[in-house]
Amino acid sequence: MSTVCSIFSQVLKLIPRAGFDAAVRKHQAERNAKGFTCWGQFVAMLFCRLGSVTSLRDIANGLAASEGRLRHLGLPAAPCRSTLAYANAHRPWQLFEDIFHQLLDVGRNLAQQTGVRHKFRFKNKLLSIDASTIELCASLFDWAQFRRTKGAVKLHLMLDHDGLLPCYAVITDGKQHEVAIARQWSFAPGAILVFDRGYTDYAWFEQLTPDGVFFVTRLKSNADYIVVEDRPLPQRQGLLRDQSSRPGEFHPQALIDPDLNVSAHPALIVQSSHDATGASGQRDGDRAMLLCESSPLLCADVASSVCI
């Protein structure tokens, strides 16, 4: 006789139950509870997420439709809508914050055991940072200030390419700029950051350089810089220029060769240079690399050729 576990049951097995119960005791989350446990609340809300359910009533009805299978999930019976609403409103959110960090540790350990690594040729820690705007209803979420008739929150995320797991996330209102959050983060020396033009802040770049942090980004079209040195190109398709530059008067023709036949708009990639020193013993500046956007060359692969 073969035994088959549902996909939902297999997902729940990834959650360390002993750690979950310890977090419940730590926060006294089940104090004055009358039958509906925190584990049952967690199962119900996870069902909401995996089933793309949009209301408490749909959660209760969906679980009630599988009444005979709930005991295998650690849930004696399907909760009613009012019970689930009361639990969501009164139980401490810090419980689920602890569960998140426990699951993050589990995911990192699994990534190390399975050998999931980025496939580039350098050993530096590779991090990607970005922000996404999530629109909300302004009348329901009046705290999420964005525009006069629209509400929104902004998710600021840092992705660790060792295992492709997020290592930090911040949710702010939609008006918060990305750079303001990035300045609050600290990075280990030798780490490589990859981000877009929304994070352009020369004062922040100057702060990253003495900390030993590399960065790869794209310059804005109105960037003000002076080319200091032309460097020999590595043997890599799609790379047009490798130059050392510093802030200064803008020369729009400094990086574009009119004799080059480029089929797509060129993308200017800037990477911090820690070891480039001039005659005065100071850094010549940042390195600028001109790529063709149609090239499969990734920003991180650019970092592998110029950071190490």
Residue-wise pLDDT for 25-44, tens only, equals 999 998 888 888 999 999 99
- Would you say 254 and 227 are in contact if contact means Cβ atoms under 8 Å apart? yes
pLDDT in tens, 208-239: 888 889 888 887 878 777 888 888 877 766 77
pTM of the full structure: 0.63
Side-chain-facing half-sphere of 187: CA atoms under 13 Å: 28
Over residues 67-112, the pLDDT tens digits come to: 777 877 888 888 899 999 999 999 999 999 999 888 888 887 877 7
Q: Are 224 and 249 in contact (CB under 8 A)?
A: yes
DSSP 235: S
Asked if residue 2 has pLDDT above 70, the reply is: no
- In this prediction, residue 146 has a pLDDT band, given cuts at 50, 70 and 90, of confident
Partners of 229 in beta bridges: 244
Distance set, CA 233 to CA 103, 169, 291 (Å): 44, 37, 12
Say what the alpha-carbon torsion angle 135, 139, 141, 145 is, to the nearest 10 degrees.
70
For 170-184, write each residue's pLDDT tens digit: 999 888 899 999 999
Q: How sure is the predictor about 13, in pLDDT bands with cuts at 50, 70 and 90? A: confident
